[in-house]
Homo-oligomer: A and B are copies of this chain.
Amino acid sequence: MAAQSSEFALIKRFFTRQPIKNPSTRLGVGDDCALMAVPDGYELAITTDTMVENVHFFAGTDPEQLGHKLLAVNLSDLASMGARPVSVTLALTLPGVDDDWLAAFAKGFLALAERYSVDLIGGDTTSGPLTMTVQAMGLVPRGQALLRSTAKPGDFIYMTGCLGDAGLGLKIKQGYNCANPGAALKRFNTPDPACEAGQALIGTANACIDLSDGLAGDLGHILAQSKVGACLNWDDLPLSADVLRYIKETGDWRMPLCAGDDYELCFTVSPEKAGQLSMECSRIGVIESQPGLRLNKSGGIQSLQVKGFEHFS
Query: Is A282 interfacial (CB 8 A cutoff)?
Result: no
A4's contact among B45, B55, B311, by CB below 8 Å, is which? Answer: B311
A244 to B26, CA, bound (A): 43
Q: Which residues of B contact A138 (CB under 8 A)?
A: 33
Q: Which residues of B contact A77 (CB under 8 A)?
A: 1-2, 32-33
A260 to chain B, nearest CB (A): 8
Q: Which residues of B contact A129 (CB under 8 A)?
A: 52, 128-129, 131
What does DSSP make chain A's interface, helix, strand, loop or mixed? mixed
A142 to chain B, nearest CB (A): 7
Contact check, A125 vs B7: say whether CB atoms are below 8 A apart: no
Query: Is A34 interfacial (CB 8 A cutoff)?
Result: yes
Contact check, A33 vs B78: say whether CB atoms are below 8 A apart: yes
Q: Which residues from 138 to 193 on chain A have a C-beta closer than 8 Å to any C-beta of chain B?
A: 138, 140, 142, 145, 147-149
Pull 25 A–B residue pairs with CB atoms less than 8 Å apart, ordered by A.
Answer: A1-B48, A3-B311, A5-B221, A6-B310, A7-B311, A26-B43, A30-B148, A31-B149, A32-B148, A33-B47, A33-B145, A34-B47, A35-B81, A35-B140, A36-B46, A37-B142, A47-B122, A48-B91, A48-B122, A48-B133, A50-B133, A52-B126, A52-B129, A125-B312, A126-B311
Point out residues on A near B: beta carbons under 8 Å. 1-7, 10, 26-27, 30-38, 40, 43-56, 73, 77-78, 80-81, 83, 87, 89, 91, 93-94, 96-97, 121-129, 131, 133, 135, 137-138, 140, 142, 145, 147-149, 209-210, 212-213, 217, 220-221, 225, 260, 307-313
Given known contacts A35-B43, A37-B44, A126-B311, what 16 new A-B pairs fall within 8 Å (CB)? A2-B77, A4-B217, A6-B312, A10-B312, A32-B78, A32-B80, A33-B46, A33-B47, A33-B81, A34-B47, A37-B43, A44-B44, A48-B91, A50-B126, A50-B133, A52-B128
